[in-house]
Amino acid sequence: RKEVEQDPGPFNVPEGATVAFNCTYSNSASQSFFWYRQDCRKEPKLLMSVYSSGNEDGRFTAQLNRASQYISLLIRDSKLSDSATYLCVVDYNNNDMRFGAGTRLTVKP
Amino acid sequence: GAGVSQSPSNKVTEKGKDVELRCDPISGHTALYWYRQSLGQGLEFLIYFQGNSAPDKSGLPSDRFSAERTGGSVSTLTIQRTQQEDSAVYLCASSPLGGRYGYTFGSGTRLTVV
């Protein structure tokens, strides 16, 4: 089993749609969780951290479910500019951060 | 500088040659990571430096790969006797205190072995 697994997609949604991605992780002792965004041929950029109580940043909501060992990212009212690959990142073992392979999102007009 | 700086941005080398990739992290960031990303693939962890501690080299794919970090700042990733499967984008990232505060990535070095 991979340490961090994501549905690779692609997710193709119309503008204004709500879309959700899930990511599962294998190490129950993992402490830190993040979502990164990576545009084509660019480096990943931190989108948001994921806190135990869940957190929201504008149209983006991140949640953590420790019991089931998954994190989620919800994007509301999606924009064309949201098209990118979204990477789930988990603190695997004392600062050894492991990345999921990414979920590709395409928002269409 | 304000961000993580990597050089060169592109490197084309012949199979069997050695290459050196450089990373200059954000000033004050104690943690430095190297990843590589093949076309259309996810990120593959290579090596992690934290302060003056011994680096975590568990991700290095073979003994042809090595990395140093001098003075707790600049890092160099060296690939000896390059092979075509080494072709990828090599990304460096730094973080203030390990990964708990997220990483900032450099724009990467695109390595092509011909």
**Residue B1 has what pLDDT?**
54
User: What residue of B is the nearest CA neighbor of A33?
Assistant: B100
**Residue A1 has what pLDDT?**
56
Q: Which of B5, B43, B95, B109 has the most A C-beta neighbours within 10 Å, making it the best mutation to test the interface with A?
A: B43
- Give the pLDDT mean for A8-37: 92
- Give the pLDDT mean for B12-32: 95
User: What residue of A is the nearest CA neighbor of B44?
Assistant: A99
Q: Percentage helix, strand, coil, to 5, in chain B? A: 5, 50, 45
pLDDT tens for A85-109 read: 999 998 866 566 788 889 999 999 9
Q: How far apart are CA A89 and CA B107, in angstroms?
A: 18
A74 vs B95, higher pLDDT:
A74
Q: Where does the pLDDT of residue B67 fall: very low under 50, low under 70, confident under 90, or very high at 90 and above? A: very high
pLDDT tens for B28-64 read: 888 899 999 998 788 888 998 988 888 888 889 999 9
- Does A66 contact chain B (CB < 8 Å)? no
CB contact under 8 A, A46 and B102: yes
